[in-house]
Homo-oligomer: A and B are copies of this chain.
Amino acid sequence: MLIPPPGRELVVSADAAIEGVHFRAGDPPDLIARKVLRTNLSDLAAMGADPLGYLLTLAIPPTRDDAFFAAFAAGLAHDQRQFGLTLLGGDTTAGSAQLVVSITILGHLAPGTALRRNGARAGDALWVSGTIGDAALGLRDGAHPHLARRYLLPEPRLGLHLAGIAHAAMDVSDGLVQDAGHLARESGLAVEIAAASVPLSAPARAADALAECLTGGDDYELLLAVPPEHDAALRDEAARTAIPFTRIGRFLPGVGVRVRDARGDEMIFERKGWSHVR
């Protein structure tokens, strides 16, 4: 039975992950489970909600054995404890050609405080949490442990209090450029990104693959639209939660997303996002 905590509103979100698309068939089973759960937790983080519980359906190919599921369940149990949420229901069905994991997540928040994608205003700055591109590089080359880890195990940016600070928010799953474009489009605006401002980890800087970082996916960092007068409040919230935020661009009237390099020239990408593992 699910009752929202007194005085709180519920939010719900659902995401599915397909073997060979969102995760690799050979990824460790506990990390497959945790990644899918965390991508859903990231959706809650982007709404400013706290986790409550989730429902899980699994479509299972005959190639997956009991050991796989023991590890998969252990991964879920680990992250349930870590993030304080419970399994509320679900269903497991054999007969699938690929493993398909579908999760519906439920969260709660103070009434009226949910962050949305369509609230950015012209003049708002575009901010991003953490670093960008690690997961895409980790998918391409698993040799570097930090990058490999960032692909396998995203860190949902829960616990921030952004109501009253950000006008709009979403998480980066399909690539920074593409998702910044989503935020702009849903808000009826254009967005401009200063590529040199985008925060990169030391190994990502060393990889010298800026375009790949900007268009790669699976970051699960937060994009925020924040008016200049809330800069100080955002910095305070970043300090309180130890989640770094970096200002990387701005929203302006118009349509589309433009990325400028350090000299101010527009960067053209062959594709603005990606479609996960091929």
Contacts and interface: CB of A to CB of B under 8 A. Distances in A.
Interface stretch (A6-14, A146-154, A200-208, A256-264): A6-14
Contacts of A16: 57-59, 91, 93, 100, 102
- Oligomeric state, in number of copies? 2
Given A9-B3, A16-B57, A97 B95 contact: no
Q: For the side of the interface on A, what is the size category?
A: 35 or more
A18 B99 CA distance: 11
Given A14-B55, A14-B104, A59-B16, A95 B4 contact: no
Given A15-B91, A88-B12, A102-B57, A4 B3 contact: yes
Interface in A244-276: 275-276
Contact of A21 (B9, B95, B104): B95
A12 B106 contact: yes
A197 interface: no
A58 B100 CA distance: 10
B2 A96 contact: no
Interface in A15-29: 15-18, 20-22
Contact of A1 (B9, B55, B59, B100): B9
Contacts of A97: 96-98
Nearest to A55: B14
Contacts of A12: 2, 55, 88-89, 104, 106
A90 B10 contact: no
Given A13-B89, A16-B91, A20-B95, 6 more contacts: A12-B88, A21-B94, A21-B96, A57-B104, A89-B104, A96-B97
